[in-house]
A and B are shown apart, each in its own frame.
Chain A
Amino acid sequence: MIQTLDTDFEGYLTDTSNLDGGYADRVYLPETEEEVGEILRKCSQEKTAVTIAGAGTGLAGGSIPFGGVVLSLAKLNRIIEINKEKGLAIVEAGVVLYNLHREVESQGLLYPPDPTEQGGQLGGNFATNASGARTFKYGPTRDWITGAHVFLSSGEMLALSRNGNRANRYSMSVESVNRTIYDIEIPRYQMPPTSKHSAGYYAKPNMDLLDLFIGSEGTLGVVTRLALKLIRKPERLFSGIVFFESNERIFGFVDEIRERSKKNRISDTPDLNARALEFVDAHALEFIKESYPSIPENANGGAIWFEQEREEASEELLISHWAEVIERYTDLSDDSWFGLSEKDQQRMRTFRHAIPSSAYEFIKAHQVQKFGTDMAVPDNCFHDMYRFYRDELDRSGLRNLTWGHIGNSHLHVNMLPENQTQIAQAQRISDRFVTKALQLGGTVSAEHGVGKIKTKYLKQMYGEEGIEQMRKVKRALDPTAILGRGTMFR
């Protein structure tokens, strides 16, 4: 019998976004793929809306239901196989990312994607093409998925593998395991040329069908099982949190590290090659200063957290390269933090994670809202974008803090308005940020997804025509329109 909750499921009606008012009739907690198929068949016949839920760590309201039922994948949480020789893991969609990382790393392997929120589930990571600090070197979740089981709303399963089903230009047909054929027309819009992107369906001529489902935010199908690519865990790391006195110098540092890393990634010489390059602004440092008294007083330019993989043979040279650049750009090198041990590296990750968490705690405690951005722009437009953010924020007088994946030219700017007037103001500023990012060729969401709170921005990016092309894809795969209602587009 399929496990269900008919009462007391408030936890399924919220996520980490501001969106409230969610409601549902029932929560299903299937334990097998067959049960997922059964639930979908039933809901499809009855035309009951189905909202797919992972761990509820999303930031865009994708898992919040507005009517119908919730299909939680939490009980499909087995790590089925970790194959060291093949560098492959097979997992169910409800496996928590933290558990996968731990399991894989204990075998000397690495699953590179590392969204800051480690409590999310792999299915949710799949649905939003999630990324994290290491995306700078290793790319987003998409690059590490080699296969998936996806259930369509009809209850039929697709067994997808990388390159197993490619489009012919803009058309693609796919066969379910029970031999139903689905014809799909790929949208014609151009995805933005940013190094990260998670807004709207992936669309390119001759694309792989698997890519259509990755990042589709639970609107096209239910992913139940994933095949993931693993690599050998790097021997050692060198990492640091470097503080800067001014914005000019911190961005000069970032530009140099970003360019050298990109270059050295190709040549593979033992030189600077950051795998993570993250920014924390001075306001964000101020926010957590109480818990971290060793943050230097005059870190007015903020801080950069980096990680670099190292091998014993070349590490001396490598560290001296880093020291040379760091000392050229900051006088706070002696007050900066560096780590050779896993423990120190973990402490730095905790520090980085403490920033969004403390912002979240502040919001809860003070009952304020948070307006956070998730736009990325092409690298050569980053300075323009940042100047625009800064001018608007400084002029607004709103409490704000910024952090994010500067290696990918992708920052999370956060405004914490304290009253209705400020909320309206923050809303207007958010809209201007989006418009600016789009003018610069950016994306409205680099990693959180569109969910239910950024549908208007997705439309702004791709226009009504683009949205209609997405609707067409959805109609082909989910003709009863039961999956993820209100997510991505209405």
Chain B
Amino acid sequence: MDIVVCVSQTPDTTTKIQVGEDGKNIDSTGVKFILNPYDEFAVEEGLKLREAHGGEITLLCVGDDSAKENIRLGLAMGADKAILVKDEAKADSFSVASQLADVLKESNLDIVLLGRQSIDYDSAQMGPTLAELLGRPCVSFVTSLEIDGTSVKAERDIEGGKEVVETSLPCVITAQKGLNEPRYPKLPDIMKAKKKPIEEREGTSPAARVETLSLNKPEQKSGGTVLDGTPEGIKELVRLLREEAKVI
């Protein structure tokens, strides 16, 4: 089975994000980048598919040199090789998706796996856009995946429940939490990962279709007010609800 897993790197969840001077991007000074956690589920699912059906896993990433360290993590988990499409701009989701599609159009792949979204911009467009560009079916937010021959049965999260869908290979699957538990890398794989090839290609940096006008941090919540249960406290509560919160 020819398996492709698209990966990206995102700021570490514990990073304190600051808006950059241009007001349109984050300030990446001192920011530690990690492998997008949803992409880890995709890598793990790829490994499970390879264990069941044989084949090869290629990691595919659009990014700059700094992404290599996180690509190596995917290789240490067990992926066979990687392609890095060099594009620092990563103008918008469409721009990235079309560069992924450019690479994949020429290949004979069976399945593309990727996280349901990256945890930085949270647009969740990559999977569906890529599938559209490749002219392949897409199942997103998948929590369970079964493949038999070329038929695919997937469970996906929907509001308040689960939906079970069927499609066929080749297709694009986006991974939701719950699909699997990503494995820890094994010692021999960690050692091998250094030697696995990362093929670099020049990106085409297509123009963005979405322009970021501004980036703002959410308003800081101010502390609450604690009132006691005395008659005075209750009077004060009513006054605050009426005059300050203006809800009664």
Q: Does B235 contact A (CB under 8 A)?
A: no
Hey, which chain B residues are within 8 Å of A344, CB to CB?
184-185
Which of the segments A116-124, A334-342, A443-451 contacts the partner chain? A334-342
- Whether A338 touches B185, Cβ cut-off 8 Å, given contacts A105-B14, A106-B15, is yes
Pairwise interchain contact A340-B35, C-beta atoms closer than 8 A:
no
Which of the segments B58-66, B136-144, B169-177, B186-194 contacts the partner chain? B186-194
Hey, which chain B residues are within 8 Å of A341, CB to CB?
34-35, 70, 73
B244 to chain A, nearest CB (A): 22
Pairwise interchain contact B184-A337, C-beta atoms closer than 8 A:
yes
- B10-46 CB mask vs A (1 if < 8 Å, else 0) is 0010111000000000000010101101001000000
Count of chain A to chain B residue pairs whose CB atoms are closer than 8 Å in the complex? 59
Hey, which chain B residues are within 8 Å of A337, CB to CB?
184
- A221-265 CB mask vs B (1 if < 8 Å, else 0) is 000000000000000000001000000000000000000000000
Pick the contact of B191: A320, A343, A347 (CB < 8 A).
A320
Q: Does B76 contact A (CB under 8 A)?
A: yes
- A294 to B180, alpha carbons, bound, how many Å? 12
B229 to chain A, nearest CB (A): 10
- A338 to B35, alpha carbons, bound, how many Å? 16
- Whether A342 touches B187, Cβ cut-off 8 Å, given contacts A105-B14, A106-B14, A106-B16, is no
Is the interface on chain A under 10, 10 to 19, 20 to 34, or 35 or more residues? 20 to 34
Q: Does A102 contact B (CB under 8 A)?
A: yes
Hey, which chain B residues are within 8 Å of A347, CB to CB?
184
Hey, which chain B residues are within 8 Å of A323, CB to CB?
187-188, 191
Hey, which chain B residues are within 8 Å of A102, CB to CB?
14, 16
Hey, which chain A residues are within 8 Å of B34, CB to CB?
341-343
- A105 to B16, alpha carbons, bound, how many Å? 10
Q: List CB contacts (< 8 Å) of B183-211 with chain A.
A: 183-188, 190-191, 194
- B57-93 CB mask vs A (1 if < 8 Å, else 0) is 0000000000000101100100000000000000000
Pairwise interchain contact B190-A319, C-beta atoms closer than 8 A:
yes
Pairwise interchain contact A340-B187, C-beta atoms closer than 8 A:
no
Is the interface on chain B under 10, 10 to 19, 20 to 34, or 35 or more residues? 20 to 34
Q: Does A76 contact B (CB under 8 A)?
A: no
- A316 to B15, alpha carbons, bound, how many Å? 28
Which residue of chain A has its CB nearest to the CB of B30? A108
Pairwise interchain contact A326-B187, C-beta atoms closer than 8 A:
yes
Hey, which chain A residues are within 8 Å of B187, CB to CB?
319, 322-323, 326-327, 333-334, 336, 338
- A108 to B72, alpha carbons, bound, how many Å? 23
- A161 to B37, alpha carbons, bound, how many Å? 44
Pairwise interchain contact B30-A106, C-beta atoms closer than 8 A:
yes
- A108 to B188, alpha carbons, bound, how many Å? 31
Pick the contact of B185: A108, A333, A340 (CB < 8 A).
A340
- A106 to B37, alpha carbons, bound, how many Å? 19
Pick the contact of B30: A107, A338, A339, A340 (CB < 8 A).
A107
Hey, which chain A residues are within 8 Å of B16, CB to CB?
102-103, 106
A167 to chain B, nearest CB (A): 42
A342 to chain B, nearest CB (A): 6
Which residue of chain B has its CB nearest to the CB of A242? B187
Q: List CB contacts (< 8 Å) of A373-429 with chain B.
A: none
Hey, which chain B residues are within 8 Å of A327, CB to CB?
187
- Whether A319 touches B184, Cβ cut-off 8 Å, given contacts A107-B30, A341-B73, is no
Hey, which chain A residues are within 8 Å of B72, CB to CB?
340
Hey, which chain A residues are within 8 Å of B73, CB to CB?
340-341
- Point out residues on A near B: beta carbons under 8 Å: 102-103, 105-108, 241, 294, 316, 319-320, 322-323, 326-327, 333-334, 336-344, 347
Beyond the given A320-B191, A338-B185, please list 6 additional residue pairs across the A-B interface where CB-CB is below 8 A.
Answer: A106-B30, A294-B183, A322-B187, A338-B184, A338-B186, A338-B190
- Point out residues on B near A: beta carbons under 8 Å: 12, 14-16, 30, 32, 34-35, 37, 40, 70, 72-73, 76, 181, 183-188, 190-191, 194
The 4 A-B pairs at the shortest CB distance, nearest first, are namely: A337-B184, A106-B16, A323-B187, A341-B73
Question: What are 21 A-B residue pairs whose CB atoms fall within 8 Å in the complex?
Answer: A107-B30, A241-B184, A319-B190, A322-B187, A323-B188, A326-B187, A336-B184, A337-B184, A338-B184, A338-B185, A338-B186, A338-B190, A339-B184, A340-B73, A340-B185, A341-B70, A341-B73, A342-B12, A342-B32, A342-B34, A344-B185
